[in-house]
Amino acid sequence: MTEYFETQEGRRIAYNLTPGKGPGVVFLGGFKSDMEGTKALALEDWAKREGRAFLRFDYSGHGVSDGAFEDGAIGDWFEDARDVIMAKTEGPQILVGSSMGGWISLLMSREHPEKVAGLVTIAAAPDFTEDGYWASFDKETRHKLESEGSIAVPSDYGEPYIITRRLINEGRERLVLRSPLALPFPTRFLQGTADEAVSTETAIRLLEHAEGADMRLTLVKGADHRFSDPDCLALIETALAEVLARL
């Protein structure tokens, strides 16, 4: 059953919590995605079979949470994740971050490592506002964004994404690949080689940049950014099992 939670910043976000044993698993979705996606629901089914606690939620401006997507930024969505995890879970959790959720899970790992028992990322997109969008914009596009406050960027997932000046500027305060990033717990990165949104080079950069004694990157030939076919879903479950076995 979907319930609602008000963050300490006053944003009302939707979540679904499955009770069970710990450490629990938290799914953090991607940019403009929601908690009803294939991976979130498949992981919820897995958690129920395992009798393990599981949390999925919508960031503000996403899914059925309050707010407008265009008003949000990485810091807002990190705060949403932090607040609901702190309020609705007990003890350290295993974070499963997809795409932007990978970046947010890394922020959670950096800011609150005591709350993280393990980490699985799926096509993690750390620093994508800077290294993806801003880096790809030409001079004219950058000027338009700065002067008008937003631009529309084509998307492979339907309507164009509205990229705002605040999203870019605020994202610069949340970058994780420019300073030390300690991941002192079992960590598994998953990445498809046919992913057109996040490159294999990004996954390798993250692996090389992060510091931790138990990190592995799995490259899946031919897998795309959705990483949602039966084989990929099975790999996510395998990665979770590996993390749990190391705890």
Residues forming the active site:
99, 195, 225
Among residues 188, 178, 180, the alpha carbon closest in space to that of 215 is found at 188
Ramachandran region of residue 227, left (φ > 0), alpha (ψ -120 to 50) or beta? left
Amino acid at 3: E
Q: Nearest-5° angle of CA 157, CA 68, CA 196? A: 25
Ramachandran region of residue 116, left (φ > 0), alpha (ψ -120 to 50) or beta? beta
Among residues 159, 95, 162, 171, the alpha carbon closest in space to that of 127 is found at 171
Amino acid at 237: E
Q: How many residues does the chain have?
A: 247
**Which segments of the chain are extended strands (E)?**
3-6, 12-18, 21-28, 52-57, 93-98, 116-122, 150-155, 158-164, 187-192, 215-220
C-alpha 240/C-alpha 145 separation (Å) is: 40
